C-alpha cells in the first residue's frame, strides 16, 4: 500500500463514523413536581409552579433540580416542603446530568486530539512530498549511500519566514505527538482493565507496590515487550520467585532469637470435608506459614494429647527458646492441649484466641429467648432482601 492509498483509507474511516440521532428526552420532573408549566423565551426555559410548596419559578431543568434538592448557587430558593422521594429524584437527575457533561467533555477532548493528529499528519505528508519532489529518485539515493536511512536525507527549507515557520512546525508536531500519546495511553488503560476483568483479578492489585514496579519495568523496555510465555512463567520464573520468597523467609527467621515468636494454630474444614490444622509463626516483622496437619486420617479422636504432640513438634522445629506463647481456639481439646504444653515447656504460655472467645460469648447471648426472636426476624429480612433485590 502506498502513501496515497493509506491517506484515502484514513479519510474514509473517519468520515464513516455513526452519528447519534437520538432526540432529546424530556425530564419526568416537570410533570411530576410542576404545575402551570409554560414555555419561556428561549429553548429549555419554562415558567412553572412547584406542586409541593407553591413556589413560582422560572428557568431550565437545572433550577428545578436546585429547588427540589436544595442546591445553592443557582439563584433559586429551596423547596420548604420537599419530600424524600422528590429529593432523591432531583439528586438522580443532577448526577445523570453531571455524567452527561463529563461524557461530552471527553468527546470534545478526543475530537480535539484527532484534529491535532490530522494536522500533524498533514505536516508530515507535506514534508514527505517535498522530500520526494526535491530528490531525483529513490534508487539514486540508495545507490549513493546504502547505510543512510530516510531520516538522514537532508531537507532544505528555503522560505521567506525561515526559522519562524520551522519553529511553528516543530511545536505543531509536539502537540500532535502529545495528543497521540494520550490516545495510546487511553487504549492501554482499556486493555489493562479488560485483562483484570476477564482474568477475575482483584482491584486491590492496583494498590500494591509490585504493580507499580511492574509498570516501571515495562516502560524501561519500551513498546516491543510482549510479555513472557506460559512455559517460562510456570517453570523458569516460578522457580526464581520461589527462591526469592525463601530468601525473605530466611531473613525473618534470623530475627526470631532476638524478638521471639508466637505460634498460631487454627482448625478448619476444606471443600473436600477434610479436617485440617494450620500452624503459623508470627513475630513483629511478619507472620509466615509453617505447615498444615491433616486430621481426617486420624483413627483416634482429635483430643488434647494428640494436638499437644503435633504442636510440640512445631515448637521444636521453631526452637523452644524462640517461642514466647501459643495462641489457639478456646475449645475444650485446645484448653487441654495448652495445659499439657505449659507443663512440657515451662518457658512458654498458652493464650486463648480473643476473637474466638467473643464469638462464643455472642453465641451464648444468641441463645436467650428474646435475642433469638430478634435474630430470627433479622434473618427473615435479610433473606427477603436477597430474594427480592431485582423486583
CA dist 148 and 305 (Å) reads 84
Mean pLDDT of the region 247-276 = 88
Q: Which of 288, 285, 289 is nearest to 277 (CA)?
A: 289
For the stretch 76-121, pLDDT in tens is 888 888 888 888 888 888 777 765 565 556 666 666 776 766 666 6
DSSP 8-state symbol, 2 = -
Between 162 and 17, the more confident residue is 162
> Per-domain residue ranges for the chain?
29-120, 203-240, 253-352
Q: Is the pLDDT of residue 338 over 60?
A: yes
CA atoms within 13 A on the CB side of 187: 7
The CA–CA distances, whole Å, from 376 to 137, 168, 363, 386, 389 equal 90, 76, 14, 16, 20
Q: Tell me what pLDDT residue 322 has.
A: 92
Q: Is the pLDDT of residue 148 over 50?
A: no
Q: Is the pLDDT of residue 143 over 50?
A: no
CA dist 294 and 276 (Å) reads 5
Q: Is 326 left (phi over 0), alpha (psi -120 to 50) or beta?
A: beta
pLDDT tier for residue 217 given thresholds of 50, 70 and 90: confident
CATH number of 253-352: 3.30.420.60
Q: Tell me what pLDDT residue 127 has.
A: 58
End-to-end CA distance of the chain: 57
H/E segment holding residue 177: helix 163-198
pLDDT tier for residue 135 given thresholds of 50, 70 and 90: very low
C-alpha dihedral (325, 329, 335, 339), degrees to nearest 10: -10
pLDDT tier for residue 181 given thresholds of 50, 70 and 90: confident
Q: Is the pLDDT of residue 384 over 70?
A: yes
Q: Tell me what pLDDT residue 281 has.
A: 94
Per-chain mean pLDDT for the chain: 75
Between 156 and 239, the more confident residue is 239
Amino acid at each position: 500500500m502506498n502513501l496515497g492509498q493509506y491517506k484515502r483509507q484514513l479519510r474514509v474511516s473517519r468520515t464513516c463514523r455513526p452519528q447519534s440521532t437520538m432526540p432529546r428526552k424530556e425530564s419526568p420532573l416537570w410533570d411530576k413536581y410542576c404545575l402551570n408549566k409554560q414555555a419561556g423565551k428561549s429553548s429549555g426555559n419554562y415558567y412553572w409552579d412547584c406542586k409541593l410548596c407553591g413556589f413560582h419559578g422560572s428557568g431550565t431543568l437545572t433550577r428545578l433540580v436546585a429547588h427540589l434538592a436544595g442546591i445553592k448557587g443557582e439563584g433559586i430558593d429551596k423547596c420548604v416542603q420537599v419530600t424524600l422521594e422528590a429529593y432523591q429524584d432531583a439528586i438522580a437527575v443532577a448526577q445523570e446530568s453531571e455524567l452527561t457533561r463529563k461524557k461530552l467533555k471527553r468527546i470534545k477532548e478526543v475530537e480535539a486530539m484527532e484534529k491535532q493528529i490530522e494536522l500533524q499528519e498533514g505536516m508530515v505528508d507535506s514534508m514527505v512530498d517535498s522530500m520526494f519532489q526535491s530528490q531525483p529518485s529513490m534508487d539514486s539515493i540508495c545507490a549513493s549511500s546504502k547505510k543512510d536511512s530516510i531520516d538522514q536525507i537532508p531537507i532544505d527549507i528555503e522560505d521567506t519566514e525561515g526559522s519562524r515557520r520551522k519553529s511553528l512546525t516543530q511545536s505543531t508536531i509536539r502537540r500532535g505527538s502529545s495528543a497521540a500519546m494520550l490516545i495510546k495511553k487511553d487504549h492501554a488503560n482499556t486493555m489493562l482493565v479488560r485483562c483484570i476483568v476477564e482474568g477475575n483479578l482483584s482491584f486491590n492489585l492496583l494498590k500494591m507496590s509490585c504493580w507499580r514496579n511492574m509498570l516501571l519495568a515495562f516502560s524501561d523496555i519500551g513498546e516491543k515487550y510482549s510479555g513472557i510465555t506460559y512455559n517460562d512463567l510456570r517453570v523458569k520464573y516460578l522457580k526464581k520467585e520461589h527462591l526469592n520468597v525463601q530468601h525473605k523467609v530466611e531473613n525473618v527467621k534470623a530475627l526470631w532469637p532476638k524478638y521471639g515468636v508466637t505460634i498460631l494454630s487454627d482448625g478448619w474444614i476444606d471443600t473436600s470435608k477434610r479436617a485440617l490444622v494450620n500452624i503459623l509463626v508470627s513475630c513483629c516483622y511478619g507472620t509466615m506459614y509453617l505447615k498444615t496437619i491433616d486430621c481426617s486420617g486420624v483413627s483416634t479422636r482429635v483430643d488434647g494429647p494428640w494436638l499437644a504432640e503435633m504442636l510440640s513438634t512445631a515448637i521444636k522445629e521453631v526452637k523452644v527458646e524462640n517461642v514466647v506463647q501459643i495462641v489457639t481456639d478456646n475449645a475444650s481439646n485446645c484448653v487441654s492441649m495448652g495445659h499439657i504444653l505449659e507443663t512440657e515447656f515451662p518457658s512458654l504460655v498458652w493464650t486463648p484466641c480473643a476473637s474466638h472467645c467473643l464469638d462464643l460469648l455472642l453465641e451464648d447471648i444468641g441463645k436467650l429467648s428474646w435475642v433469638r426472636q430478634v435474630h430470627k426476624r433479622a434473618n427473615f429480612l435479610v433473606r427477603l432482601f436477597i430474594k427480592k433485590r431485582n423486583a
